[in-house]
Amino acid sequence: MEYQDFNQLPAVATLSALAADPHDLSGPHGLTVERLQKYRASANGFDFLYAGQRVEHKVLDALQELADQAGLVDQFLAMKSGAVMNAIKGYESENRQVLHTACRDIFTTSRYAEKASKEAEQELFKLKQFLEAVRTGEIANAKGEKFTTMIQVGIGGSDLGPRAVYLALKPYRVPGRDAEFIANVDPDDSAEILGGVDLSRTLINVVSKSGTTLETLTNEKLVRQALRTAGLDPALHVLSVTGKGSPMDDPDNYLASFYMYDYVGGRYSATSMVGGVTLGFVLGYEGFVDILRGANEVDIAAEQRDIRNNIPLLMAMLGIWNRNFLGYPTVAVLAYSQALVRFAAHLQQCDMESNGKSVTRTGTDVQWKTGPVIWGEPGTNGQHAFYQLLHQGTEIVPVEFIGFRTCQYGKDITVAGTTSQQKLVANMLAQSLAMATGRGNENPAKRFSGNRPGSILLADRLNPETMGRLLAMYETKIAFQGFCWNINSFDQEGVQLGKVLAEKLLAQMALQDSDDKANNEEKTVECTLLKIAGMV
């Protein structure tokens, strides 16, 4: 497939010209009834309301041209079919297929990437059997008691997505089941988690695609030691999810072992066994399959070529409008849902590790902006914290609101004629209006300039299927943007240097011989830094 540079796409010039005079949301014809009705899309149980973006039909038409000229849907189809999309032509790179979509392409017989979907099915089958054995007590602790808790030990992609999804779906837990997560090499992370569970009833799920990650291997050792200290046999408690052939691919060392494959990137792996084992334990096998079903529905819907009917593509193109043409450097993801408390953290990784790149897929320096900074916190909490800057700061921050019409637990109260859920959603809608339209005032301190773009993603209820859809919408949005910017969204070379330097510092700290240390301290920047930091 021939890739084109972003600045060579003819629609870029059209969009640059249109950006000189974007739609004025603060004016008398800014956010009209007609506009609210027109600028919306519906698919997969979600409504996407984007009247609050600084676009009108000319801009949308040009964004459509841009999507077509860059062949975004074709690239997405190529990705799903197993093309090697994780590569930089002419340079050493991971050189891999990108097939997280295959993990959920299991619901029909005509699959995009048959081999990968078969492998996903095999792992799912193993998982189903394992969970059944845990349910019946065939797999139990030394006393024959059933397991109630699973601790996932993993970091980055082996933590953030599964953790965010677990937190989002807690009301759907199988009664009596819980999950915890240990990611940080900070010993206080594990100390707190291990101190809060009954280890004798706990399964430890060590997740590392590479099987070489310092934090995870260290924490595995720490947890095994804690089991032994508690008089428990790690062989009855510790399982693994890893890549085939990795140093952790040693089934004899684990109670059960599951695989993830090299064509699934860490940050896209929540729907592989990386998420599947813990989410299956907590939600039940069918609960995890519901997540996969939701994600698969979006993977199919995202093939629509019309940006007005393809929510992930539309989100991607509006993001490009804000980033490349209106020049906004960050995006806030504000979920009006406490359940999505870690979803922004997951997106931070998924988006910034994917699209925080400066070279094209042919290894040249990009001459245009790529991924923005992604951040966010749940509403309404954020309203009492950082929204001041969103409304009146000098930096304009496009907002992606996410909300649900009904709550998860169904335990609500009516106060002054409205439920808490109504208050929650009303606040989200009000914030979107305030940011878009602003408000004049004689007092400059009370003036709101408006024209702060935002869109709203709204569904009825956050359940496993909805969560799968939401996850896939964002994964696909991110991939579309990377395709458009002609960058490799699937590698992460930028995290290597820090790792190498940390290894150097640790090697120095591990030196026993004080003479060696003294000599080194005088010679290298690393050693001097360790010394003045008081660590040697």
Binding region for ligand G6Q (CB under 6 A): 155-158, 208-210, 213, 216, 265-267, 353, 492
Give the contacts of 384 (CB within 8 A, at least 6 positions apart): none
Identify the burial level of 499 via C-beta atoms within 10 angstroms of its C-beta, where 0-12 means exposed, 13-18 middle and 19 or more buried. exposed
Q: Tell the smallest beta-carbon distance from residue 210 to ligand G6Q (Å).
A: 3
Q: Tell the smallest beta-carbon distance from residue 85 to ligand G6Q (Å).
A: 14
Task: Rank residues 100 and 452 by Cβ distance to ligand G6Q and give the closer one.
Answer: 100
Edge-first strand listing for the sheet containing 178-182: 178-182, 149-153, 202-208, 238-243, 257-260
Q: Tell the smallest beta-carbon distance from residue 481 to ligand G6Q (Å).
A: 16
The continuous run of DSSP H or E covering 506 comes out as helix 496-510
Q: Which tokens is 504 given?
A: 């150097």
Give the contacts of 152 (CB within 8 A, at least 6 positions apart): 158, 159, 162, 163, 179, 180, 181, 182, 205, 207, 277, 278
Task: Rank residues 60 and 116 by Cβ distance to ligand G6Q and give the closer one.
Answer: 116
Task: Rank residues 297 and 351 by Cβ distance to ligand G6Q and give the closer one.
Answer: 351
Which of 475, 192, 172, 457 is closest to 337 using CA atoms? 457
Q: Tell the smallest beta-carbon distance from residue 267 to ligand G6Q (Å).
A: 4
Q: Tell the smallest beta-carbon distance from residue 498 to ligand G6Q (Å).
A: 11
Task: Rank residues 205 and 213 by Cβ distance to ligand G6Q and give the closer one.
Answer: 213
| Size (the chain), residues | 536
CA dist list (Å): 8 to 57, 69, 87, 334, 436:
23, 10, 21, 34, 32
Task: Rank residues 158 and 431 by Cβ distance to ligand G6Q and give the closer one.
Answer: 158
Task: Rank residues 354 and 421 by Cβ distance to ligand G6Q and give the closer one.
Answer: 354
Beta strand 399-404 with 454-459 is parallel
Task: Rank residues 50 and 166 by Cβ distance to ligand G6Q and give the closer one.
Answer: 166
Is 215 an annotated catalytic residue? no
Identify the burial level of 267 via C-beta atoms within 10 angstroms of its C-beta, where 0-12 means exposed, 13-18 middle and 19 or more buried. buried
Please check whether residue 277 is in contact with residue 125, taking contact to mean a CB–CB distance below 8 angstroms.
Answer: no
Please check whether residue 170 is in contact with residue 179, taking contact to mean a CB–CB distance below 8 angstroms.
Answer: no
Task: Rank residues 216 and 257 by Cβ distance to ligand G6Q and give the closer one.
Answer: 216
Q: Which residues pair with 333 in a beta bridge?
A: 400
To the nearest 10 degrees (0 to 180), the angle between helices 311-320 and 72-80 is 130
Which of 467, 149, 124 is closest to 272 using CA atoms? 124
Tell me how far apart the alpha carbons of residues 237 and 232 are, in angstroms, rounded to a whole number: 8
Task: Rank residues 218 and 381 by Cβ distance to ligand G6Q and give the closer one.
Answer: 218
Q: Which tokens is 483 given?
A: 């395709």
Q: Tell the smallest beta-carbon distance from residue 265 to ligand G6Q (Å).
A: 5
Considering the candidates 384, 411, 442, 523, report the single residue annotated as catalytic. Answer: 384
User: What does the DSSP 8-state code read for residue 47?
Assistant: E
Q: Tell the smallest beta-carbon distance from residue 530 to ligand G6Q (Å).
A: 24
Considering the candidates 94, 119, 180, 353, report the single residue annotated as catalytic. Answer: 353
User: What does the DSSP 8-state code read for residue 321?
Assistant: I
Please check whether residue 231 is in contact with residue 115, taking contact to mean a CB–CB distance below 8 angstroms.
Answer: no
CA 244 to centroid of chain Cα atoms: 24
Tell me how far apart the alpha carbons of residues 86 and 70 are, in angstroms, rounded to a whole number: 17
CA dist list (Å): 374 to 50, 350, 366:
19, 10, 20
Tell me how far apart the alpha carbons of residues 232 and 12 are, in angstroms, rounded to a whole number: 63
Considering the candidates 38, 58, 118, 499, report the single residue annotated as catalytic. Answer: 499
Q: Tell the smallest beta-carbon distance from residue 353 to ligand G6Q (Å).
A: 6
Q: Tell the smallest beta-carbon distance from residue 268 to ligand G6Q (Å).
A: 7
The continuous run of DSSP H or E covering 257 comes out as strand 257-260
Task: Rank residues 96 and 293 by Cβ distance to ligand G6Q and give the closer one.
Answer: 96
Is 346 an annotated catalytic residue? no
Q: Tell the smallest beta-carbon distance from residue 360 to ligand G6Q (Å).
A: 20
Is 353 an annotated catalytic residue? yes
Question: Which amino acid does the sequence have at 401?
Answer: F
Total Cβ atoms within 10 A of residue 338: 15
Catalytic residues: 353, 384, 499
